[in-house]
Amino acid sequence: MDAHRIVETATPLQHLSRLSDHLGIELFAKRDDLAGPSFGGNKSRQLEYYFGDALVQGADTILITGAVQSNYVRIAAAVANTLGLDCIVQLEQRVDTKSPVYAASGNVLLNQLLGAEVMTYPEGEDEDGADRALEARASDLRAEGKRPYVIHLGETHPPLGALGYVDAAHEILKQRDDFDAFIVASGSGSTHSGLLAGLRGAGHMAPVYGSCVRRAADVQSARLKRIIQRLTTLYEGAAKVDDRDIQVWDGALAPGYGKVGPPAMEAMTLMARYTGLILDPVYTAKAFAAVPALIRDGTIKQGARVCFVHTGGAAGVFAYQDVLSDALSSS
């Protein structure tokens, strides 16, 4: 499978010394917040194989779906610009909010700056319906003589995005191969499943804990099993993943996708004040919240070497200005 390289050099693996001392572990951050275009993020890796496929097919227009504050669609628009491709982003209404800041700031503003055409889709839990809407738009474009390429949202399509995190797993192991545990956000499942498959394919058996950001643990676990099964057709190392390898934690999921609960707020504050790194409230804050929680319950032992995959999302922080300001002022 061809890839268009968006992440041209290895992202840093940073030892977080003060936070390590505070937590009693050896904590490292895989700085994928620095991956790809401005504001970066894990979606840069996920898009490499989609754009590679699109270029092989001679596409001139990229169509992609995400939430209103999606990092995925914002990075797709940025990469499309570097290649001279048009980009149509479809924004789903996943978060029940009437905040004018959420609707206009963060990634929404960046999509406008990048010049992407914006569509909307009214449902936030209808992946197949969102894909059908993009296919209908693609059909219209073909009638106009264009060559569209749809990056599907539904999990029944080949998980090309997971291949980017197979590569990332190998990149991490070249930097350091003695981790006792990995922590990553688990949303669409592409980053989590790709990282897990890449590690197991390389013979590394440390647990990968996915912190749920969109679905409850039982639902997310089942989704990951299906994605990994499909991934075996693209990467044979995925066949080395056992069902018992799929570890998910949903202690920071409430009050739901795109909403900030106490564990996420505490995680953002802890990371910022001990390391200066900024987590976003949708993905990375809920992911990092798993670290102190798993230490407290004994899942992660004192002195363990832990890799936290910082998947980025900083642009989205500004869309939560009102929520975060209220929480910080009352703390």
DSSP of 252-287: T-TT-TT---HHHHHHHHHHHHHH-PPPPTTTHHHH
How far, in Å, are 40, 57, 110 from residue 83 at the CA level? 17, 14, 18
What amino acid is encoded at 295 in this protein?
I
Which of 20, 44, 70, 211 is catalytic? The answer is: 70
Q: Which of 217, 52, 227 is nearest to 156 (CA)?
A: 227
SS3 state at 12 = coil
- Residue 20 among the catalytic residues: no
Task: Tally the C-alpha atoms within 13 A of residue 226's C-alpha that lie toward its C-beta.
Answer: 13
What count of residues does the chain have? 331
In angstroms, rounded to a whole number, what is the distance separating the alpha carbons of residues 232 and 257?
A: 29
Give the residue from 237, 74, 64, 219 showing the smallest Cα distance to 163.
Answer: 237
Q: Cα separation of 248 and 190, whole Å?
A: 14
Q: Note whether 55 and 79 are within 8 A (CB).
A: no
Please give the full DSSP string across 81-97, using - where no structure is assigned.
HHHT-EEEEEEE--S--
Cβ atoms of 307 and 181 closer than 8 Å: yes
**Rounded distance between C-alpha atoms, residue 241 and residue 88, angstroms:** 35
The rounded distance, in Å, linking the Cα atoms of 248 and 212 is 7
How crowded is the C-beta side of 7, counted as CA atoms within 13 Å? 24
CA dist., res. 55 & res. 2, Å (int): 9
Could you give the residue numbers annotated as active site?
70
